[in-house]
Amino acid sequence: MTETVTLGDDLTVRAIGFGAMALTPVYGEVDDAESLATLNRALDLGVTFLDTADVYGGGANERLIAELLATRRDEVTLATKFGIAGNPTDPDAGAPTFRGDAAYVRQSVDASLGRLRTDVVDLYYMHRRDLTVPIEETVGAMAELVTAGKVRYLGLSEVTADELRAAVAVHPIAAVQSEWSIWSRDVERQVVPAAAELGVGFVPYSPLGQGFLTGTVTSAADLGGSDFRHNLPRFSSDALDANLAVVEVVRAVADEREATPAQIALAWLRYRADELGVASVPIPGTRRAARVEENFDSLDVALSDGQLARLDSAAAAVSGDRFADLTFVSAGRE
């Protein structure tokens, strides 16, 4: 399948991407050989829009991606990010800090290019807002990277509608990246409509709901101390049962469509983006090649109006915010 989506600023990518954070030890230990096999299988299928960040694994994720780029760079639309200092998935690391000053932007891109062993990043995101720096300064520095040929397109992660409008006034923005799924719909209130209005694409991360559809969490007892989800409100003892009930609705629809729950969640997101008029490409992550194939095949899954209504109704029952500290995401500043 060669279906593509044109995001903002005429950036055209395949209709489903790959979130490489899953290839860092977030949900447990990882094997680099298996990770590279998964990445190569993704490219073989046509899943060529790869998303990483300088903070993932303290740069280790970019170095892993570099191994793939060494032989297949021309096949990849490469996205990486800057702006988070620290490890937000480590509950023992303390609160992360953010930087968006011009000097840090220039420093960060050079460091990423070195780890990735490439001379250009296709899509460069501001990972989080540094509220001490005007967004115009941050985006202005990013725009200089386009002029210098180090970056092709610009993106923003977890921004509000107002922040997006201010950024677009400085330089075209190809994509906003934020969490968006059946379990996480706060972005539908303001930033998704703003992106649609401004012609900016949307790249949903965690489109499978912070791992609700991985099958690894069926009760609070499944969350070990090394699993960062134990610190997310939707996995708290007060919210988990309600959110697992949503999984059952997704599974029921999956049985009706002879699809998997993950495919249903991705199909729902595709329909929802169409309804809101925004060009959207989700970036589900996984360690296993079989999961890449499963996610890719979601592009062939159709949903009826009745099934969409049931999924929307289930989504209304989701309990808990998506982060304990909402200032970490756009929902805390809307």
Please give the residue range of the domain that contains residue 269.
4-332
Count how many domains the chain has: 1
* CATH number of domain containing 227: 3.20.20.100
pLDDT of residue 225: 56
pLDDT of residue 1: 44
pLDDT of residue 85: 84
Q: What is the mean pLDDT of residues 52-60?
A: 95
Q: What percent of the chain has pLDDT over 90?
A: 77
Q: Which residues are catalytic?
A: 56
Mean pLDDT of the chain: 92
Q: What is the 3-state secondary structure (H, E, C) of the chain?
A: CCCEEECHHHCEEECCCEEHHHHCCCCCCCCHHHHHHHHHHHHHHCCCEEECCCCHHHHHHHHHHHHHHHHHHHHCEEEEEECEECCCCCCCCCCCEECCCHHHHHHHHHHHHHHHCCCCEEEEEECCCCCCCCHHHHHHHHHHHHHCCCEEEEEEECCCHHHHHHHHCCCCCCEEEEECECCECHHHCCHHHHHHHHCCEEEEECCCCCCCCCCCCCCHHHCCCCCHHHHCHHHCCCCHHHHHHHHHHHHHHHHHHCCCHHHHHHHHHHHHHHHHCCCECCCCCCCCHHHHHHHHHHHHCCCCHHHHHHHHHHHCCCCCCCCCCHHHCHHHCC
Q: Taking a C-beta distance cutoff of 8 angstroms, is the pair 121, 79 a contact?
A: yes
Calpha distance 92→251 (Å, rounded):
35
- Of 221 and 270, which is predicted with more confidence? 270
Q: What is the mean pLDDT of residues 289-303?
A: 97
Task: At 123, give phi and psi (nearest 5°).
Answer: -135, 120
Q: What percent of the chain has pLDDT over 70?
A: 90
Q: What is the mean pLDDT of residues 152-159?
A: 98
Q: What is the mean pLDDT of residues 304-314?
A: 96
Give the pLDDT band (50/70/90) at residue 91.
low
